[in-house]
Amino acid sequence: MNNCKNEVKKRKFKFNEDYFWGYVFIAVALAVFAMFTLYPVISAFIISFQEFKPLGSQWIGLENYAGLLKDKLFGKSIVNTVTYTVFSVPVSLFISFIIAVMIYPLKKSLQTFFKAIYYLPVVASGVALSVVWLWIFDPMPQGILNTIIGWFGISNQNWLGSSNTAMLSLLLMSWLSSHGTSIIIYLAALLGIPDSFFESADLDGATFIKKLRYIIIPLLKPTTLFLLVTGIIGSFQVFMNAYMMTGGGPNNATTMVGLLIFNNAFKYSKFGIAAAQSLVLAAIIAVISIFQFKVLGDDVEY
């Protein structure tokens, strides 16, 4: 506090008070974060330079990282993960945005109805979801998806069992599910736009497209940035879908980095390697995120 006083001479008191409140407001959050997130992350960082053993780890320097460079499977899994992310996150976000904009002008009761419906799948048990998706991708002609493409005269596909369609199947799954959260966040943001903005646009005779372009999209930028960044983080870490649906196969066509990390941590007891892989992954995500912050701009203030 005292240091600040010396540094900032103009409007001394005001600024210092803000500093004080700033730190007060983040105090609890920061304490929880430091203890239960930062500390484990730092531990993981240290472990990444070790051959981890519960009865005493050994320092092996950069060996874990060097091993990754030579590991072809790790390279392939990065490519898979990037492919999956590039095709799933933006498309899902676009679908959520469209749906949110479609729900927004409806009557309140209808809004409630649709929001509930789109959010509900999030509460469904993971087991129910995976059973249903396995049924949808059933390779036999009576499978749901095969029945549907059968109507168009396309012969039945071995969805999850063939390298050509396995990744597509996982993408299809991501496009058709998991919108609940983004939709309600988008709607919350849409509802946060003061009506007066639209009213004044109406006075200027703006069309729907113009309102979309000049009011909604710019005002939803922080929300989009949030959903994009968290979506990409989630997508880069994803392994549950591959784990449940394909086990990473066939022929490693759907092996994600998250799955490798999981296997190293819980299957081979190679905790040091898992930590190194995680940090490489985090570095990749960080670079992409910084890029997004730069392009989409962070602090929107008006």
Partner 1 sequence: MSLYKSYGGNKRHEIIYKGISIAFLLLFAVATLFPIYFMIISSFGDPIEAGAVNYSLIPTKFTLDSFKFFFNYSEYSVRWLLNSLLIASVATVSNVVFAGMAGYAFSKIKFPGRKWLFFLLLIAMMIPYQVVQVPLYILIVNIFNLSNTYASLMLPTLCGVYNIFLAKQFMSTLPTEVIECAKIEGCNQFQIFTKIIVPLSKTVLAVMAIMTFMENWNTFFWPFLVTKTMDMQTIQVGLKNFRFANTTYFSPMMAGATISAIPMFILFFSLQKYFLQGVTVGAVKG
Partner 2 sequence: MKKFSRITSLMLALVMIVGLAAACGNSNNAANSSSAASTNSASGNTSAETDTVTALLPPVSATYQDNFNKFSKDFNTKYPNLTLKIEPASWEDMTQKLDVQVNAGSPPDIAFIGADGISKYVDTGLLMNIKDIATADMISDFDEGPLNYMKNGDGLYGFPAYMEIHAIGGNKQYLEQAGIDYKSIQQNGWTFDQFRDAIKKGVVKEGNATKRYGFVFACAGVAAKDYLSIMVKSAGMPSSFTNDLKYAYTSKNYLELLKELRTLIDDGSMPKELSSVDAGKRWNMFLTGQTMITGKGLATFENSANKNNAKIDAKDGSAVKDSIKVDYIVLPIPSFAGAQAVSTPAVDGYVTFRGKNEPTKAHVDNVVKAAYYMASGEVAAMTNNDLFVAHITKSANEAAKSMKIDRNPDNETAVQNMLKIAAPARPDIPTDLGAKAIKIEDEVIIPKFQALLANEITPEDMYKAVKEAAVAAFGEDGIVKD
Footprint (CB under 8 A) of partner 2, residues 82-141: 131, 134, 137-141
Q: Which of 189, 178, 175 is nearest to 224 (CA)?
A: 189
Q: How far apart are CA 241 and CA 169, in angstroms?
A: 10
Minimum separation from the CB atom of position 163 to partner 1 (A): 25
By a kind-dependent CB cut-off of 5 to 8 A, residue 114 interacts, out of partner 1, partner 2, none, with partner 1
By a kind-dependent CB cut-off of 5 to 8 A, residue 90 interacts, out of partner 2, partner 1, none, with none
Are 258 and 236 in contact by the 8 Å Cβ rule? The answer is: yes
Among 91, 148, 188, 217, binds partner 1 (CB under 8 A): 188
Among 88, 241, 246, 278, binds partner 2 (CB under 8 A): 246
CB closer to partner 2, 157 vs 224? 157
Q: How far apart are CA 19 and CA 25, in angstroms?
A: 10
Q: How many residues does the chain have?
A: 302
Can you spell out the DSSP letters for 54-113?
TT--EE-TTHHHHHHHH-HHHHHHHHHHHHHHHHHHHHHHHHHHHHHHHHTTS-HHHHHH
Residues 149-178, interacting with partner 2 (CB under 8 A): 156, 158-163
Minimum separation from the CB atom of position 87 to partner 2 (A): 21
Q: Each residue of 96-124: b (16+ CB within 10 Å) or e? A: bbebbbebeeeeeeeeeebbeebeeeeee
Among 57, 83, 230, 252, binds partner 1 (CB under 8 A): 230
Q: Does 243 bind partner 1 (CB under 8 A)?
A: no
Per-residue binding string, partner 2, 61-80, x by CB under 8 A, is ------------x-------
Among 99, 167, 170, 245, binds partner 1 (CB under 8 A): 99
Q: How far is CA 187 from CA 176, 220, 228, in A?
A: 19, 10, 16
Binding site for partner 2 (CB under 8 A): 52-55, 73, 131, 134, 137-141, 156, 158-163, 245-252, 255, 263, 265-269, 271
